[in-house]
Structures are given as C-alpha cells and as structure tokens.
A and B are shown apart, each in its own frame.
Chain A
C-alpha cells in the first residue's frame, strides 16, 4: 500500500531558526495535507494543498505541493517554542478511494 516517508524523523533547532521538512512517496497524489500534533491532543490541520506546484502559507508556515505530485514540503520560519510537536503529512489513498494515509511524522524540538 501507499507509504508516506517523512524526513527528518526529528529535529532540534534553536528558537528563531527556520525549519524545513518533507514528505515523499512512490505514488502520485492529488491532495497533500499537513497536520501538527501537540502532546495529548489530536492532530490539527495546518495547510491543505490541492494542485501540483501550489505554494500556500499560513502565518509563518509555508507548504508546497511538489511538481511531480509525489512529494510535499513544509517550512516554518522564525521558529518559536510553541512550534514544538509532531508534524504529519497526509494524503488520500488514491483515485476513488479517499481514505487518508499519514506519514511517519517529524518530531520538532525548539530550544529557547
């Protein structure tokens, strides 16, 4: 089945630094979603992408839908302590099958 590989698995950065993470697959997708999960909470949707090449921002977050449709990227600028958490990418299973699969996650730690 589909597998969404996220990298890096974990990151330790200084407050104020920019962050980049990505999600790749061997399959083509028409939608990419990025979520953040705080400890003890359910994942929260950050950004949704629906078109190859699309670049969408949400505050300090910017996500891009890769032109090959097999990958997506999430950038966080000027990180702050509350950015700490696990970031997941997600994509629907395939044409006509709209179950959502999730990536393996990137755990972000911001050092004040």
Chain B
C-alpha cells in the first residue's frame, strides 16, 4: 500500500484478555518497528524486525508481549493477559532498510478497562 496501515485504529478490551494488533508496512520495506506511546509521552521502543534476521526484542516490557512478522511483510503484536497499564497508542513504522527514514502508521489506541 501507499503507507503503513495499522488495524484496528481503536481497541477496547477487558483486563485479562489477549489482544492482537496488526501492521501492514510499506511494500518493499525490510525494516519494521513497533513503539508504544502513553498519553503525552515519548515513543517507547518495543521491537524491531530487519529482513530475515532475528528481531531485536530488547524493548518488550514483559513476557506478555510478543510480535511476529510473517513472510517479511505483515506484523502482529500480541499482548496476553492485558493490564490497565498496557493502555497506550501502539505505533508501527517501516523503512527501506534499518536506521534510515522510517514512516509511521496512524497507530492503534488500546484501552484496557
């Protein structure tokens, strides 16, 4: 597609439920990033995929968080047993190669009630 697409745009879930957030990167971009942004805060790095290399998971806050990137394209961020502190906007970005100009999606606003 023309830009990075994320779905859903908004998600309200009950505490303890699992959620899946989807990211469709720009076609041909080998690098994909997930970030989390709490209200009024900066971007917290979560995970980074580069081609077929092992992902950099160093930013995942707990083992409840995981992400996959299938076929080097679409990525899914999964949060298990959601907690209220998981409420935030989850942003996905992609770039042609790592460390270069990254383009962001609109984000998924997650609210855990």
Q: Are A98 and B50 in contact (CB under 8 A)?
A: yes
Q: Are B98 and A105 in contact (CB under 8 A)?
A: no
- Interface positions, chain B 1-48, Cβ under 8 Å from A, are 4, 31, 33, 35, 42-43, 45, 48
| Chain A residues, CB < 8 A from B43 | 43, 88, 102
- Interface positions, chain A 1-59, Cβ under 8 Å from B, are 31, 33, 35, 41-45, 48
Q: Are B42 and A104 in contact (CB under 8 A)?
A: yes
Q: Are A99 and B45 in contact (CB under 8 A)?
A: yes
Number of B residues near A (Cβ < 8 Å) is 24
Q: Are A98 and B99 in contact (CB under 8 A)?
A: yes
Q: Are A98 and B42 in contact (CB under 8 A)?
A: no
Number of A residues near B (Cβ < 8 Å) is 22
| Chain A residues, CB < 8 A from B100 | 31, 48, 92, 98
Q: Are A43 and B104 in contact (CB under 8 A)?
A: yes
Q: Are B42 and A42 in contact (CB under 8 A)?
A: no
Q: Are B106 and A31 in contact (CB under 8 A)?
A: no
Q: Are B102 and A100 in contact (CB under 8 A)?
A: yes
| Chain A residues, CB < 8 A from B107 | 41-42
- Interface positions, chain B 68-93, Cβ under 8 Å from A, are 91, 93
In the bound complex, CA of A60 to CA of B53 (Å) = 39
A-binding residues in B (CB < 8 A): 4, 31, 33, 35, 42-43, 45, 48, 50, 56, 91, 93, 95, 97-107
Q: Which 10 A-B pairs have the closest CB atoms?
A: A98-B98, A98-B99, A92-B99, A42-B104, A99-B48, A102-B43, A105-B42, A48-B101, A43-B104, A104-B42
Cross-chain pairs A/B with CB under 8 angstroms, 28 sampled: A31-B99, A31-B100, A33-B101, A33-B102, A35-B104, A41-B106, A41-B107, A42-B93, A42-B105, A43-B43, A45-B101, A92-B98, A92-B99, A92-B100, A97-B56, A98-B48, A98-B99, A98-B100, A99-B33, A99-B45, A99-B48, A99-B98, A100-B33, A100-B45, A102-B35, A102-B43, A103-B42, A104-B42
